[in-house]
Amino acid sequence: MIVFILGAFAGYFYGAFQQAQSSPATIPVQTTGEPAKTPAPATIESSATINLVAIDNSGNGVAMPLKVQKRAGYGETLININNLVFWFDTQQSIQTARSVAENITGVDASGINLVYMIDANATMVEGPSAGAALTIATIAALENKSPSTTVMITGTINPDGTIGQVGGILEKAAAAKQAGAKLFLVPEGQGTENRLQPVENCTVQDYFTYCTTRYRQITTDISSAAGITMKEVSTIADAEKYFFS
């Protein structure tokens, strides 16, 4: 009898584990406002897709689709991820993106659920650098718009709607071009990249070699280096006109 009971428990937990493994990972992030008494009508459902750019674990720029789906609900924010190393700060960026999008559009989202879906191949998406793209995609979903497929953006998102600086601009610009973008939007001041190049000067005196190293600044125009048109934007309002013109 004991063996039978233990076997039954083992079979139950194994079945539950198998079901969890086969189901997509959906993470609830935030519930905004008071729960509505009834969900919004199904006619409000829509979605918007935009390409994200990120840096993978090897330091290369990569592009991947982000889909934001609007559903009838109770003001919840959900994340559906696949094969992704997903950082906690990405969840924070999604919450900020939703808040900024609601403020810009004026949409009452208390009866709306937003689902953020990212499909990546073992790629790390850093939350801060995806913030601007997350916000644009959220605006598109809330207003039933289709963002341009030839425009991509990188930058953090701040609660006041301003866009902050990020790293890896050159690598991301190259990835944007490879993904088919014609225009790449970057934070203000990041259209060029400055780096210090060491310059060594050596002299020989009395059979000894003396070397000094100084550094010179090298400025790279990222648009020319990556072969893609770039524009600097400081706010989401600035970026919107390129995505929804």
Higher pLDDT among residues 45 and 241, named by residue: 241
Q: What does the pLDDT look like over 144-183, one tens digit per residue?
A: 999 999 999 999 999 999 999 998 899 999 999 999 999 9
In a domain, 9, yes or no: no
The answer to whether residue 22 is catalytic is no
Question: Is position 172 annotated as part of the catalytic site?
Answer: yes
Quick check: is 117 in a domain? yes
Which structural domain, as residue segments, surrounds residue 121? 24-243
Task: Report pLDDT digits (tens) over 41-50.
Answer: 445 688 999 9
Mean pLDDT along residues 131-138: 95
Residue 3 lies in a domain: no
Catalytic residue among 172, 223, 241, 245: 172
Residue 141, exposed/middle/buried by CB under 10 A (0-12, 13-18, 19+)?
buried
How is residue 233 written in tokens?
Answer: 């934007």
The span from the CA of 217 to the CA of 43, in Å, is 57
For the domain that residue 117 is a member of, what is the CATH number? 3.30.230.10
Given a contact cutoff of 8 angstroms between Cβ atoms, the answer to whether 112 and 144 are in contact is: no
> How many domains, in total, are found in the chain?
1
Residues 6+ apart with CB under 8 A from 19: none
Task: Answer whether residue 227 is part of any domain.
Answer: yes
Average confidence score pLDDT of the chain: 80
Tokens describing residue 187: 């934070």
- On whether residue 15 sits in a domain, the answer given is no
Is there a domain that residue 8 lies in?
no
Does 1 fall in a domain?
no
Catalytic residue among 70, 93, 99, 129, which? Answer: 129
pLDDT above 70 covers what percent of the chain?
75
The pLDDT assigned to 23 comes to 40
pLDDT of residue 230: 95
Please indicate, yes or no, if residue 124 is contained in any of the structural domains: yes
pLDDT band of residue 120 (cuts 50, 70, 90) is low
